Amino acid sequence: MSSRKSKNSNLKHGECISQVQRILRERFCYQIPKGNLFGVQAQYRHLIELLKRTAIHGESNSALIIGPRGSGKTMIINQALEELMQIKDVKENVLQVHLNGLLQTNDKIALKEITKQLCLENVVGDKIFGTFAENLSFLLEALKKGDRTSSCPVIFILDEFDLFAHHKNQTLLYNLFDISQSAQTPVAVIGLTCRLDILELLEKRVKSRFSHRQIHLMNSFSFSQYLKIFKEQLTLPEEFPDKHFTEKWNETVQCLSEDKNVKEILLKHYHASKDLRSLHMLLMLALSHITSSRPFIIPTDLVEANHLCNMDSKANIVHETSFITLVNGKCPGSGARRPGIKSNITSESLLSV
């Protein structure tokens, strides 16, 4: 009877764990917003106000979100768009176009992607654009036909914005900023970049059409806020199906945040880098240790995850290599000595590598 109960509890825990891993991995990997935006509240209010003026009042705007990697640029734009789409009548009227400088490597590819995301392919029909200029003129004509009262607002999100500045003549940026300065279709152009000198990369004609509105993110939160972020990133939402499991999981997370060893690990991460991606990597490694027989994260999991994060890749290569191979200079699986390798290698010389 007891074995049957333990089997049922393991099965139940297994279902809960699969859902926990799905929720937390989405949160860690896809920058799905959760909880408060510590240290960037003022920047977030500025951004959401900017997007509301475009979506509700038909005002065209342009801005750059500038900050180091992991400072929360993608997170605040995702949360701002999520909040914007919850406003009545906005979700059906506002169009979004997401571009990435790593994927859209030239203006021609970018224009095709814009045409696809704006669902203008049906308008194109069987028409074949022979040149980049024809494709651009078609897109601009489609955007310029409307006015602020009758057209759907379009929000352009340009990730890795500095890479678009390297496109030939910066034609795409010029035309997007040009539309945002005119009284045609309401357009908001939001660029995300790590480059502080981004304005120096823009041509004079492009710079003259940009609003010069910049939102800087610098990870200015304290360690106490860092601990709150740690708890919020691991806490399960109230709508999780198993209420009993949710309570136990959240209690475990609270105990983790108060554990001395866990605090020391987090303090080292905080001083090394306030990059939340490194925190997500630590939590992802700790999350991989839970099983149906041990369904909750314990301090030992975070200690092991911290060890993996701080492990030296060169030291790993030496550890994986046979000591005899290094001393004798022989290739694995063969009796031949490698030419030019001496056999008088000492343990001191290996440690100094």
Q: Which of 124-138, 211-225, 326-340 has the highest mean pLDDT?
A: 211-225
The reported pTM is: 0.71
Count of beta carbons in the 10 Å neighbourhood of residue 50: 21
Q: How far apart are the first and last CA of the chain?
A: 59
pLDDT band at 93 (very low <50, low <70, confident <90, very high): confident
Whether residue 6 is predicted with pLDDT greater than 50 in this model: the reply is no
Q: Which of 157-171, 218-232, 240-254, 328-342 has the lowest mean pLDDT?
A: 328-342
Domain ranges across the chain: 41-216, 221-309
Under CATH, to which class is 41-216 assigned?
Answer: alpha beta
Mean pLDDT, range 96-123, rounded to an integer? 86
- Taking only the tens place, the pLDDT of each residue in 265-285 is 999 988 888 778 888 889 999
Rounded Cα gap, residues 164 and 99, in angstroms: 10
Of 34 and 312, more confident: 312
Rounded Cα gap, residues 4 and 85, in angstroms: 48
Q: Which of 135-144, 239-248, 306-315, 342-351 has the highest mean pLDDT?
A: 239-248
pLDDT of residue 353: 45
Ranges assigned E (strand) in the chain: 61-66, 95-100, 154-159, 187-193, 214-216
In this structure, are strands 61-66 and 214-216 parallel, antiparallel, or unpaired?
Answer: parallel
> 188, 178, 267, 184: which is closest to 226 by C-alpha?
267
